[in-house]
Structure 1
Amino acid sequence: MNYRHSFHAGNSADVVKHSLLIALIRALQQKPGALTLIDTHAGCGLYDLQDDTAQRTGEAEHGVVRALTDKNPLLDDYRTAVRAANGGTDGHLYPGSPHVLAQLLRPQDVLIVNEKHPEDIAALRRAMRGTPAAVHGRDAYELWLAMLPTKTPRGVVVVDPPYEKTDERERITATLAAAHRKWSHGVTVVWYPLKDRETHQRWKQQLRRIGLPKLLTIEHWLYDADQPGIYNGAGLFIVNPPYAFMQELPPLLEALRTALAPDGHRGTLTAEWLS
């Protein structure tokens, strides 16, 4: 599956991913200690939903557009982040993960973003101007390990690849295991698309064998029955999610499921421990 960010900006997966990222960072920031935030596959950083690539799929209509018109106050932080990229109002720009993370920075926090694609890294540098982010153009998995342990006592690594390579899941699994050996207390977030349950179940079994003591999986299946051969949803693996985040998670997941359910479907958005 090729999931390059620019074709899918603002879709339902982005709404869930960015809503949960905001909640996760806010939970960690309840303590004053500095955080290092690392985005290994940062993409362009900022997307124009009127651009041809976004218009070609039209996925934002079923994601950010629904979220912006939803009335549930649990989505207010997400809506604020999107509107901040548009000068405080609804608009046609969509903030990617690095842009969202930059909005959340406190003076003591550090942001490192990385993108290897030659066109996207140029766009990323433009999008991150005026922020304190350090922008890299390295292999994502090499950077992931090279930056660990973080210089600050606490940190979050966000891993959000396009899954265009057949060995992407294997590289994530191996790097996650190596990262845990270097940085066992760190928080890691891995995004993934959901196409078929059998492939995903095999990957979950591989991750279980790593033996991470606190590994949470959040799965958003859009349809009441799997749609063969197409994108069926997305999810996150989260290593070491903080207690405050877990306390807020159930109502937030229900708010997101309700806002994003396709017409005629209820869908599911659930969390479970893999450990």
Structure 2
Amino acid sequence: MNYRHSFHAGNSADVVKHSLLIALVQALQQKPSALTLIDTHAGCGLYDLGGEEAKRTGEATQGVVRAFADTNPLLDDYRAAVRAVNDGAEPHLYPGSPRILAQLLRPQDILILNEKHAQDAIALRDAMRGTHAAVHERDAYELWLAMLPTRTPRGVVLVDPPYEQTDERARITATLAAAHRKWAHGVTVIWYPLKDRVTHVRWKNQLRNLGIPKFLSVEHWLYDSDQPDIYNGAGLFIVNPPYAFTQALPRMQEPLRAALAPEGHRGKITADWLRE
């Protein structure tokens, strides 16, 4: 599956991913010690929802536009993060994970971004001008391991690949296993699309067999039954989610589901431990 950020900016997957990412970082920031935030597949950082690529799919209408039309206060932090990069009341620009993480930084925190695609890396540096982010242009999986353990006592690694390569899941699995050996207490967040359930269940079992404790799976299924050969939703694998986040997560699931449910479908958001 090819999932380039620019074609899907602001879609339902972004709403769920960024809402939960904000909540997770805020939960970690309840403690004063410094955080290192690492985004291995950072993309361009900022996206024009009126641009050619975003308009080609039109997916923002089923994502951020729906979230802005919703009034549930549990989505306020997400809407505030999007408003921060827009002048008007309606979203015309969409912040990728780098811009959202930059908004969350405290003076003691560190933000490290990586984007291997040369043109996207140029756009990323432009989008992050004026922030304190370090931008790299390296192989994502090499950088992931090279940055561990983090210089600060705590940290988060966000792994959000386009799934362009047939071995993407295998590389994630191998790198996560190696990363956990180097940094067992760190928080890792892995985004993934949901398309072929058989492939996904097989990968889920492979990750479960790594034996990593405190391994959470959050999945957003858009439709009430699988739609063959199309995008059915997305999820996050989270290693070592903070307690404050897991306590807040059940309250967030229903507002996100309700805001994003396609017409004629209820959809669902589940949260289950692979290992606890």
TM bucket, shorter chain: over 0.9
2:254 corresponds to: 254
Once the 2 structures are TM-superposed, how far is the Cα of residue 90 of structure 1 from its aligned partner?
Answer: 2.5
Distance 2:28 2:17 in 1: 17
Distance 2:253 2:184 in 1: 27
Once the 2 structures are TM-superposed, how far is the Cα of residue 88 of structure 1 from its aligned partner?
Answer: 6.7
Distance 1:269 1:201 in 2: 16
Residue 106 of structure 1: SS of its match in structure 2?
coil
1:119 corresponds to: 119
1:69 corresponds to: 69
Residue 37 of structure 2: SS of its match in structure 1?
strand
Distance 2:184 2:29 in 1: 19
2:30 corresponds to: 30
Distance 2:4 2:218 in 1: 21
1:171 corresponds to: 171
Distance 1:133 1:88 in 2: 26
Matched to 1:123, the amino acid is A
Once the 2 structures are TM-superposed, how far is the Cα of residue 197 of structure 1 from its aligned partner?
Answer: 1.1
1:151 corresponds to: 151
Using the size of structure 2 for normalisation, the TM-score is 0.99
Distance 1:189 1:272 in 2: 15
1:104 corresponds to: 104
Q: Deviations over 1:61-104 (max 9, x none)?
A: 00000001100000000000000011474231000000000000
Unpaired segments of 5 or more residues in structure 1?
Answer: none
Matched to 1:40, the amino acid is T
Identity score, percent: 79
1:133 corresponds to: 133
Distance 1:93 1:37 in 2: 23
Distance 1:85 1:103 in 2: 10
Distance 1:89 1:268 in 2: 29
1:243 corresponds to: 243
Distance 1:125 1:87 in 2: 21
Once the 2 structures are TM-superposed, how far is the Cα of residue 205 of structure 1 from its aligned partner?
Answer: 0.4
Structure 1 residues 88, 245: closer, same or farther in 2, change over 3 A?
Answer: farther
1:78 corresponds to: 78
Distance 1:63 1:89 in 2: 16
Answering whether residue 98 of structure 2 is matched by residue 94 of structure 1, we say: no
Q: Is the Cα contact below 8 Å between 2:219 and 2:236 reproduced in 1?
A: yes
Q: Is the Cα contact below 8 Å between 1:80 and 1:88 reproduced in 2?
A: no
**Structure 1 runs (4+) greater than 2 angstroms displaced:** 87-91
Distance 2:51 2:87 in 1: 19
Once the 2 structures are TM-superposed, how far is the Cα of residue 269 of structure 1 from its aligned partner?
Answer: 0.4
- CA RMSD of the aligned region, Å? 0.7
Residue 112 of structure 2: SS of its match in structure 1?
strand
What is the number of residues matched between the two proteins?
275
Unpaired segments of 5 or more residues in structure 2?
Answer: none
Matched to 1:151, the amino acid is R
Distance 1:116 1:181 in 2: 25
Once the 2 structures are TM-superposed, how far is the Cα of residue 253 of structure 1 from its aligned partner?
Answer: 1.1
